[in-house]
Amino acid sequence: MQENEQQLLLSDLWRRIAYRWKTVCIVATITVIAALAFGLINGTSYSAKTVLTVNPLTTNPFSSATASQQINITTERAILSSGEVARRAAENLGQDASAASLTENASIEAPQGSQVLTVTVVDTDPDRAAAKANALAAAYLEFRAEGAAQVADTYIKAIDKRIESLTQGGNGGSSTDLALSDLINQRNDLSLVAENPGRIIGFAEPAENRSYSGMALYAAAGLAGGLVLGLIAAVVRDRLSRETGNAKRLAESTGWPVLTLRHPSDLEGMRWIVRSQMGAVQRGTSHTKAMGVLSLGRTQEARIRSLLSQVLDARGQRSHSLSLASVPPEMLDRGWPDASERSSWTGMDAVLIGIPPAVQDTRVALLCDSFLDSIILIVDQATPLAAVNRRLEFFDGIDQESICLVFMQKHKGHSESPSKPGSLERGVKEKADAL
């Protein structure tokens, strides 16, 4: 039992959402447009590239020349990508950048076996992107030079002690002079090791062409978010709406069976209305059936009366049609129609009484108690549900079987094709079964 009730609730929810499909589409479209606009504003990026070469640093005077000239480009790439280099670059740039943003928006390329590093920075501002790329390259060379200088300084101190020891020893000779000369050359080489850690061979320039990376992601996110927001908006709008909307909602709100017509020009639908209210053709009967026609939608009740008259004529039944707009209100209060007027309708099978919406509910209730045998209430999607329920409360003088609640799907029907008789027949059968 609980599973069946939950399934009905879910199906009812989806039915309401399906009815509000325009709301879902509008909200989804607006959200996608907003996401794309946000992407254009914030997702627009400029890339700047700085190229630099890395020179070998000889920080060990006792290493061979071949070993000292080898460069591990993978290690140098890791150093350039490190947080320390990013911190130095951020300090040089000032408040325009942070170490985290530099690390996040920078990419380092280092072809294996080469001595070239490429720094590419992406930013929403072309000048800022170029400044960041150049700052990272400069910070890397500075960091590399400082590291080499620190290592070389250790060897320089050791060499200075050795030179001092040889000088103070006082043992002259060619061997001592040769050793001093070699130590001095080593010291001079080490003192210059940090002078040339590398150089920038291609400074970054502000880019002129911008890229729109991630626009597909913005569109996908906007569509997903728009569908969710659209579904929520459809449910909320349906809950807050005071209009009838559709036949299903009308039936749920009123608790009455509803006959659905596609448009007022459907004569087949009018025949089903007449059949439900008049029953089979009974020629020769002296009773004239009084049928009230009240339209709370955009379809004029005069048009409905005209179509009903055509159907009655086709059935071989005579009818008289008039509107309460021609009847003074005081006559309605005195119990219209009187005996003389009723006698003028003798021999008629039906009298169609058009009830304008402006007629007071109490007068309609009086007619239902004293004169009307049945009433046809026309409603469309824009009709407030409160107005329908209020009118139904004043129809107590008429049996429920004699009240026909009709939902008109469309207002204008001159250029529309007639609805299928089968659908109308099913609607009337559902009404009969409900009754």
- Judge whether 330 lies within some domain: yes
Please indicate, yes or no, whether residues 85 and 28 belong to a single structural domain of this protein: no
Please indicate, yes or no, whether residues 307 and 407 belong to a single structural domain of this protein: yes
Helices 385-393, 361-370: crossing angle, 10 deg rounding: 40
Please indicate, yes or no, whether residues 91 and 118 belong to a single structural domain of this protein: yes
Count of domains for the chain: 3
Q: What is the pLDDT of residue 417?
A: 39
User: For residue 20, what are its two tokens?
Assistant: 């509000």
Tens digit of pLDDT per residue, the chain (435 long)? 233 333 445 666 677 777 778 889 999 999 999 988 887 776 667 889 999 998 876 656 555 444 445 678 888 899 899 999 999 999 888 866 788 888 888 899 988 888 899 999 988 788 888 999 999 999 998 888 887 777 777 777 777 787 777 777 666 667 777 777 777 777 776 666 656 788 899 998 887 766 656 678 888 888 999 999 998 988 888 777 788 888 888 988 898 899 989 888 888 888 889 988 886 444 444 578 999 999 998 999 999 999 999 999 998 999 999 999 999 999 999 889 998 888 899 889 999 999 999 999 999 999 999 999 999 999 998 899 999 999 999 998 888 888 999 999 876 544 343 334 444 444 444 444 443
Please indicate, yes or no, whether residues 269 and 409 belong to a single structural domain of this protein: yes
Please indicate, yes or no, whether residues 234 and 180 belong to a single structural domain of this protein: no
- CATH classification of the domain holding 412: 3.40.50.300
Q: Other CB atoms closer than 10 Å to residue 258's CB: what's the count? A: 23
- Scan for tokens 């001595």, then name that residue: 115
- Scan for tokens 């480009």, then name that residue: 73
- Judge whether 109 lies within some domain: yes
Please indicate, yes or no, whether residues 219 and 260 belong to a single structural domain of this protein: no
For the beta sheet containing 106-109, the strands, ordered from the edge strand earlier in sequence to the opposite edge, are 106-109, 116-123, 46-54, 198-202
- Judge whether 7 lies within some domain: no
Please indicate, yes or no, whether residues 263 and 390 belong to a single structural domain of this protein: yes
Find, among 388, 365, 352, the residue nearest to 278 by Cα. Answer: 352
Rounded-to-integer distance, Cα 408 and Cα 412, Å: 10
Give me the half-sphere count of Cα atoms (radius 13 Å) on the Cβ side of residue 61. 19
Residues in the chain: 435
User: For residue 31, what are its two tokens?
Assistant: 């959200």
Q: CA geometry: angle at 182 spanning 181 and 183, to 5°?
A: 90
Task: Kindly give the pairing relationship between strand 403-408 and strand 258-261.
Answer: parallel
Please indicate, yes or no, whether residues 280 and 428 belong to a single structural domain of this protein: yes
What is the SS3 assignment for 75?
Answer: helix
Please indicate, yes or no, whether residues 384 and 337 belong to a single structural domain of this protein: yes
Please indicate, yes or no, whether residues 197 and 313 belong to a single structural domain of this protein: no
Rounded-to-integer distance, Cα 263 and Cα 322, Å: 22
Which residue, of 202, 226, 259, is where some domain finishes? 202
Contacts with 259 (C-beta within 8 Å, 6 or more apart), sequence order: 269, 272, 273, 276, 404, 405, 406, 407, 424, 427, 428, 431
Which residue, of 179, 202, 225, is where some domain finishes? 202
Cβ atoms of 352 and 323 closer than 8 Å: no
Please indicate, yes or no, whether residues 61 and 142 belong to a single structural domain of this protein: yes
Q: What is the pLDDT of residue 172?
A: 60
User: For residue 353, what are its two tokens?
Assistant: 């009484």
Please indicate, yes or no, whether residues 91 and 147 belong to a single structural domain of this protein: yes
- Identify whether 337 is preceded by a cis peptide bond (ω within 30 of 0): yes
- Judge whether 173 lies within some domain: yes
Rounded-to-integer distance, Cα 169 and Cα 177, Å: 12
Domain that holds residue 236: 18-43+214-240
* pTM across the whole model: 0.52
- Judge whether 2 lies within some domain: no
- Judge whether 208 lies within some domain: no
- Helix (H) or strand (E) segment spanning residue 214: none
Rounded-to-integer distance, Cα 255 and Cα 144, Å: 84
Cβ atoms of 23 and 90 closer than 8 Å: no
Find, among 368, 374, 377, the residue nearest to 290 by Cα. Answer: 374
Q: Which amino acid is at 52?
A: L
Partners of 47 in the β-ladder: 122
Contacts with 167 (C-beta within 8 Å, 6 or more apart), sequence order: 180
- Judge whether 4 lies within some domain: no
- Helix (H) or strand (E) segment spanning residue 213: none
- Judge whether 191 lies within some domain: yes
